[in-house]
Amino acid sequence: WNPTTDWTVFSFLEWDSHDDYLRQQRYGIRFRDNENHMLSISSTQNESRDPDSESSYNTHQVDASAFWAINDRWALFGRQLRDLKDYETNEPKPVDPVLESLAGFEYQNCCWRAQFTYRESSPRSSGEFTTDKRYGFMLSIQLKGLTTLGSGTDTLLSESIYGYSRRQYHDY
């Protein structure tokens, strides 16, 4: 539902008709304008069932992300994926409820664009949570019209921030 041209309210349900249960439900709100301002917050609940062992696994997460252009040259961005599941006492759970987060800034002018990103994640090993946290710093420099030097943070941001892939670049 789009109450205005900039705001979207959404929901998504996935029903498993074979095993007759609600597999996934997602709902949230998004903001995106023509000035490179993007905000999104959503809640997702998943249920996975194994018909052979008759076991199930549930998740409940909230995902908040933003890309905010301060002006034509500077922008800030960030995302946080947080675990909201209410765990049973004998159920393994993550050490930190923040499953993934990233934050950074971007500068661009007529000839080049640079992004600096900090990323933190809690990886899973064989479906089990680990106590390890992964931390990373990424620097990407794009020579406009030529090439990109670095890991190409655009892919990571497109996967993390809703609407980022459709943002407007300033070519002056």
Per-residue confidence band for 55, with pLDDT thresholds at 50, 70 and 90: confident
Q: Does 16 map to a domain?
A: no
* Residues 83-97: tens digit of each pLDDT: 888 888 887 777 788
Q: Does 69 map to a domain?
A: yes
* pLDDT at position 102 over 80: yes
Work out whether strand 112-121 and strand 134-143 pair parallel, antiparallel, or are unpaired. antiparallel
Q: Does 23 map to a domain?
A: no
Per-residue confidence band for 56, with pLDDT thresholds at 50, 70 and 90: confident
Domain of 96? Answer: 43-48+57-166
* Residues 139-167: tens digit of each pLDDT: 988 888 776 665 567 778 888 887 777 66
Per-residue confidence band for 168, with pLDDT thresholds at 50, 70 and 90: low
Work out whether strand 128-129 and strand 124-125 pair parallel, antiparallel, or are unpaired. antiparallel
Q: Does 90 map to a domain?
A: yes
* 3-class secondary structure, 157: helix
* pTM for the full predicted model: 0.80
Number of domains in the chain: 1
Of residues 62 and 161, more confidence is placed in: 62
Per-residue confidence band for 128, with pLDDT thresholds at 50, 70 and 90: low
Q: Does 35 map to a domain?
A: no
Query: What phi and psi, each to the nearest 5 degrees, are found at residue 171?
Result: -105, 0
Mean pLDDT of the chain: 84
For the segment 95-122, the average pLDDT, to the nearest whole number, is 89
Q: Does 33 map to a domain?
A: no
Q: Does 27 map to a domain?
A: no
CB 20 within 8 A of CB 47: no
Continuous segment of H or E residues that includes residue 75: strand 74-83
Q: Does 86 map to a domain?
A: yes
